[in-house]
């Protein structure tokens, strides 16, 4: 357990050193400040607009932060040659995978918490506070989505350099969010092998849209019932476990040669 926590701490130090979090926090702060100064159609009631745009910005910023942080962990160790002293220590490749993922997830999760606190404060200034229970559910499910994204980035980086892994991670996660949920509507017009292929793709890919409670938060629809909330949470844990297991399988027999630049 100690090696895993040590690896996670290194990821945190890298995040603080590269100042990615500070840049994104400044961007979100500037956006919130701009929203506070708006008066749409001469009306003061723009709380729903602030919540909607603010939550969308949080999802996009956390998406960028999580993928950029996760896809560069293993390739950076390999290109700098630090992978050799790491594996020479009593650290297994499984511990390396889990430690890097834990660091990425916890660091991005902390950033997510800070972003939610900032947006909640801005909404409160406009007299439109979030429902605490719904906000807590939205944050927890957002953390589950972050766990999946971090695991996806780690998985792709086991066999690709950071740029290629980032590009593919953005494409896959974007498709899982925007394209895959539309498949059921398309299936009604298809028959035969194409329908079976799309159906298999629909069930084989992560459904990140399940973790998005923005509509409930914006329109005050009330909390998600306990059973669906727990099912979605368990689903997120299962997908994360599968992605990390695949990452370990892809990395456990990978050979490294001194002087290689990935």
Q: DSSP labels for 69-110?
A: HHHTHHHHHHHTTTHHHHHHSS--HHHHHHHHHHHHHHHHHH
Domain contains 259: no
Give the pair of three-digit tokens for residue 144: 């589950």
- The model's pLDDT over 64-96, given as tens digits with 9 standing for 90+, comes to 999 999 998 888 888 887 777 777 777 888 888
Domain contains 62: yes
Alpha carbons within 13 A on the beta-carbon side of 193: 0
Residue carrying structure tokens 């695991």 = 151
The pTM (predicted TM-score) of the whole model is 0.89
Contact between residue 35 and residue 50 where contact means Cβ atoms under 8 Å apart: yes
Domain contains 45: yes
Domain contains 262: no
Domain contains 156: yes
Each residue's pLDDT, cut to its tens digit, for the chain (262 residues) gives 777 888 888 888 777 777 777 777 787 778 777 766 665 544 445 777 788 888 998 999 999 999 999 998 888 888 887 777 777 777 888 888 999 999 999 999 988 998 898 888 888 877 777 888 999 999 999 999 999 999 999 999 998 888 999 999 999 999 988 888 888 877 777 777 878 888 888 888 889 999 999 888 888 888 899 999 999 999 999 999 999 999 999 888 877 766 554 4
Domain count, the chain: 1
The domain containing residue 181 runs over which residues?
Answer: 2-251
Domain contains 258: no
Domain contains 64: yes
Domain contains 93: yes
């Amino acid at each position: 357990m100690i090696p895993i926590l040590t690896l996670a701490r290194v990821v945190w130090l890298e995040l603080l050193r590269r100042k990615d979090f500070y840049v994104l926090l400044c961007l979100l702060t500037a956006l919130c400040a701009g929203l506070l100064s708006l008066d749409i159609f001469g009306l003061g009631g723009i709380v729903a607009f602030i919540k909607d745009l603010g939550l969308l910005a949080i999802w996009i910023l956390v998406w960028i932060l999580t993928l950029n942080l996760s896809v560069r962990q293993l390739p950076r160790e390999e290109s700098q040659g630090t992978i050799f002293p790491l594996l020479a220590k009593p650290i297994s490749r499984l511990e390396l995978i889990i430690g890097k993922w834990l660091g990425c997830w916890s660091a991005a999760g902390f950033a997510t918490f800070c972003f939610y606190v900032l947006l909640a404060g801005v909404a409160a200034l406009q007299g439109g506070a979030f429902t605490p229970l719904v906000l807590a559910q939205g944050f927890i499910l957002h953390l589950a989505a972050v766990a999946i994204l971090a695991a996806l980035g780690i998985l792709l980086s086991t066999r690709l350099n950071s740029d290629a892994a980032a590009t593919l991670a953005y494409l896959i996660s974007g498709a899982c969010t925007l394209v895959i949920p539309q498949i059921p509507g398309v299936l009604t017009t298809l028959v035969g092998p194409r329908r079976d292929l799309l159906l298999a793709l629909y069930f084989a890919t992560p459904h990140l849209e399940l973790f998005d409670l923005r509509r409930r938060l914006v329109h005050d629809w009330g909390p998600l019932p306990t059973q669906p909330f727990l099912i979605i949470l368990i689903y997120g844990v299962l997908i994360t476990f599968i992605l990390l297991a695949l990452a370990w399988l892809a990395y456990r027999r990978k050979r490294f040669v001194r002087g290689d630049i990935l």
